[in-house]
Chain A
Amino acid sequence: GNSVTQMEGPVTLSEEAFLTINCTYTATGYPSLFWYVQYPGEGLQLLLKATKADDKGSNKGFEATYRKETTSFHLEKGSVQVSDSAVYFCALMGSGGSNYKLTFGKGTLLTVNP
């Protein structure tokens, strides 16, 4: 079945540091890939997405590129802020007519210190 493996946390950075959170996946066909963010005490918010190979999703300074050859979708940001402190989840939705569910990784806790 489908699965997502993401970098174990927690990750602690200083403000303005570069961020990478690794994500790799296992799936048949051509899944769609997502990054969700969960702020303390809240539900999940979609951060960015990519639906086909070589697509780059971007939002709020975050980027991730769908790499089919390495089955990866790593999240990057050039300069993190304290307000980026949250849990980040990589997820996929399988291709095909009967795949409606999101499969998530375990999440990576990011703490950004001033």
Chain B
Amino acid sequence: DAGVTQSPTHLIKTRGQQVTLRCSPKSGHDTVSWYQQALGQGPQFIFQYYEEEERQRGNFPDRFSGHQFPNYSSELNVNALLLGDSALYLCASSFDRLVLNEQFFGPGTRLTVL
């Protein structure tokens, strides 16, 4: 049973560029959440997608956007990259109908902005 997968593993971009990160949820899961983890910090919630719609959003600017596809996979897009966007981006999947929709995390994508 494949867990949550993310691609790419590492990415280097320059300021002002745009980036797309990808996530495939664990088998049987229908909900995807994205988190940003800066070095030495805990993950910060960006947003969650369910039924192809953004269901909840954290305190991130509109430069951060996402998408969920009919097969439940998801993309995170970041426009006009800033140096401060350098972080580990974590995807987590869950199954909405569970009472406690426990989130399972992928290994992350390490984004470096130069």
Interface residues of A (CB under 8 A from B): 4, 32, 36, 42-46, 49, 51, 89, 91, 93, 98-107
Q: How many residues of B contact A (CB 8 A)?
A: 26
B contact set with A: CB distance below 8 Å: 4, 31, 33, 35, 40-45, 48, 50, 55-56, 58, 90, 92, 100-108
* Residue numbers in B under 8 Å from A32 (CB-CB): 100
Q: Which residue of A43, A51, A101 is within 8 Å of B90 (Cβ)?
A: A43
Q: Say whether B108 contacts A107, CB under 8 Å.
A: no
From A93, A100, A104, A106, B55 is in contact (CB under 8 Å) with A100
- Interfacial chain A residues near B101, Cβ < 8 Å: 100
Q: With A and B bound together, what is the CA distance between A113 and B64 in angstroms?
A: 41
**Contacting pair B104 A46 (CB below 8 A):** yes
> Knowing that A100-B55, A102-B35, A107-B40 are A-B contacts, what are 18 other residue pairs whose CB atoms are under 8 Å apart, sorted by A's residue number?
A36-B105, A42-B107, A43-B4, A43-B90, A44-B43, A44-B90, A44-B105, A46-B103, A49-B100, A49-B102, A89-B43, A99-B56, A100-B33, A100-B56, A101-B56, A102-B43, A104-B44, A105-B42
